[in-house]
Amino acid sequence: MAQNQKSTRNRLLAERYYQGNVTLQELGEEFSISKQRVQQLINQYDPSIIPEVLERHKLEAANRRESLRPISRIVLHETCGNVASYVHGNCRCDDCKKANRKRSEISKQRRVLKGQSDPTLIPHGVNGYTNWGCRCDICVNVNKAKCRQYRLMKEGYSNVDHVRPGF
């Protein structure tokens, strides 16, 4: 294929992809090239080759910038008592702590219900006991070992890594 034909094909690939009505796989099948090659060719082109695509990309970029903008600490102080002020504003007043605690409890309840409906999701031996409410032998023994390590650390033992679970 001549260079001019290739550049025309590549431009057509990019235009069709950026218009949003075809997938990489479909383009690859149509032009008899791999999906990965289609991606490489499309990445060579700036989306501004199509005016309406350029406008869409500008709008999406503005929305991304807006979502990444940090929340003003002043606004968060005015709206105390919610999770956002606790997480983003680092507010530790009683109302914000209470809101975050409630969010954590709801999240745990969802995990427990999810684990009860599909036990294969529970990470046994890692955090199944505390986060998923699992009481199988594996989770119970790991939790006992963690509690024992914590107790030994509190009592002043500096190296508790050698403690085996269940002892």
In a shared domain, residues 63 and 79: no
Residue 67's pLDDT is what? 66
Full domain range(s) for residue 163: 122-167
Q: 128 versus 143: which is more confidently predicted?
A: 143
- Looking at 35, 53, 68, the residue that finishes a domain is 68
User: Within this chain, do residues 63 and 41 fall inside the same structural domain, yes or no?
Assistant: yes
Structure pTM? 0.41
Q: What is the DSSP string of the chain?
A: --HHHHHHHHHHHHHHHHTTSS-HHHHHHHHTS-HHHHHHHHHTS-GGGSHHHHHHHHHHHHHHHHHHSPPPHHHHHHT-SSHHHHHTS---SHHHHHHHHHHHHHHHHHHHHHHHH-GGGS-TTTTHHHHH---SHHHHHHHHHHHHHHHHHHHT-S--TTPPTT-
pLDDT band at 71, cuts 50/70/90? low
Over the chain, what is the mean pLDDT?
A: 76
pLDDT for the residue 52: 64
> Tens of pLDDT along 87-125?
777 788 888 888 888 888 888 888 888 888 888 888 887
Domain count, the chain: 3
